[in-house]
Amino acid sequence: MRNSKVLISQALNTIRGNLERTGDPLGLKNAYWTRWAGGLGLPARGAALLYTARMYQMLPYVVQTTEMAAAAQPLLPMLSVKAFAKMAEMAGAIAADPIIRLGARREGDVRERSESALKGIVAALKRAGTPPAYLHENELYSGVLLYDLGLEEAVVPIAREVYRTLNASGSQTVVTVDPHTTFMLRKIYPRYIPGFNLNVRHYLEVLAQTETIFPAIRPDGIPERIVLHDSCVMTRDLGVVEPARTVLSRMGVEVVEPENNRVNTACCGGPVEYAYADLSRSISCIRARELAGRCRDVLVACPICLINLMKHEKDLSIRVWDMGELLHRCFAAPSSKW
Domain ranges of the chain: 2-207, 213-331
Q: How many helices (H) and strands (E) does the chain have?
A: 16, 8
Query: By mean pLDDT, which of 23-37, 97-111, 252-266, 282-296 is the weakest?
Result: 97-111
| pLDDT of the residue at 90 | 43
- Tell me the whole-structure pTM to 2 decimals: 0.88
Position 5 confidence tier, pLDDT thresholds 50, 70, 90: low
Residue 148, class by beta-carbon neighbours within 10 Å (0-12 exposed, 13-18 middle, 19+ buried)?
buried
Size of the chain in residues: 338
pLDDT greater than 70 at residue 108: yes
C-alpha dist (Å) from residue 55 to 24, 32, 34, 85:
11, 11, 12, 28
Select 213-331's CATH number: 3.40.630.30, 2.60.40.420, 3.40.50.1860, 3.40.50.300. Answer: 3.40.50.1860
| pLDDT of the residue at 100 | 47
Query: By mean pLDDT, which of 120-134, 147-161, 244-258 is the weakest?
Result: 147-161
pLDDT greater than 50 at residue 134: yes
